[in-house]
A and B are shown apart, each in its own frame.
Chain A
Amino acid sequence: MVALKVEIQEGCPNVEVLIQCPEITEDIRRLEALVLSGSPKLLCAKDQKQQLVDRRDVLYIESVDKRCFVYVADDVFETDLKLYELEELLDPAGFFRSAKSQIINIAKIKSLCPDFGGRIEVEMETGEKVIISRQYAKGFKERIGLR
């Protein structure tokens, strides 16, 4: 059972969330990530250590075997959030669902080139290439004002 308690303290400079639990479970980790979703940083993990990754540094996020990986210029982190949660969270911040298992940061796109079959090839600022699949290409064009 989860109890939620909100305390209003006048003059408090920051919003503070305290999670009290008997042990760290996957649900707790996801709760942590969701709590931090209001901040401009994403709670990620690498080598069993938690780290905050600035959303602006993220190139793209990929889901592989039900695990979500956050790609930045020279590193990869894992997050406990699901891809659909990340999509909801990051969509207003200039991210776009580019494939069934991928979200890209539009601000980090260097160039675009359409491909056969309605796909769009995307070159990120790092030179890495990803594909916007046919199902999502139309939405992407509408998003950036191509149609």
Chain B
Amino acid sequence: MRKLTEFVMPIKVFAAMIFFGLIGLYVASGILYAAWTGEAIEYAVPFVFVFQSAGLSAVIALLWGLFFGEGIFKNRRFFLRYTLFALSMLIVLAICFFTFLAVPAEWIRMWSLAAFVVFAGTTVFLSFNELYYKRTGERYVEILNAYKKSLR
């Protein structure tokens, strides 16, 4: 029970934050889109979107907990965890965007593009980081070997 609570509580808090973000994103997109097209600003958020974004928030938080929590990926490198998270997120978002999410089609294009740019950008950044870490690791190993000799 304690373990379940330790797993569920941070995910619940994170899901609430994502939910808040999604609703904010909906409102911000509406304002931006209205400003862009000159149409009247629609502040109302469809009730069905509230339900859908609550579900989507829970899924995103679960994926986060799975890949970045203390579970099966605990001893894996951040790059691998992030890449798996980004791929699964893109799949989840694609399913939501192109099947049932109650959002105008124009916003879907904008949100899809933004999500892809964010994930692709961070993956490229982390790839360069990995190269840097590998080089740094080689220097660490040289120093470690010298230390191991001193242990004998």
Contact = CB atoms under 8 A, between A and B. Distances in A.
9 contacts: A112-B140, A113-B77, A113-B140, A116-B79, A121-B137, A129-B75, A131-B75, A144-B147, A145-B146
Contact of B148 (A107, A117, A120, A146): A107
A143 B79 CA distance: 27
Given A144-B143, A145-B143, A146-B143, A114 B136 contact: yes
Interface of A: 94, 106-107, 109, 111-117, 119-121, 129-131, 143-146
Interface in B90-106: none
Contacts of B134: 113
Interface residues of B, number: 20
A112 B147 contact: no
Interface in B30-62: none
A121 B77 CA distance: 7
Interface of B: 74-75, 77-79, 82, 126, 129, 133-134, 136-137, 140-141, 143-144, 146-148, 151
B129 A106 contact: no
A38 B115 CA distance: 58
Contacts of B146: 145
Contacts of A120: 140
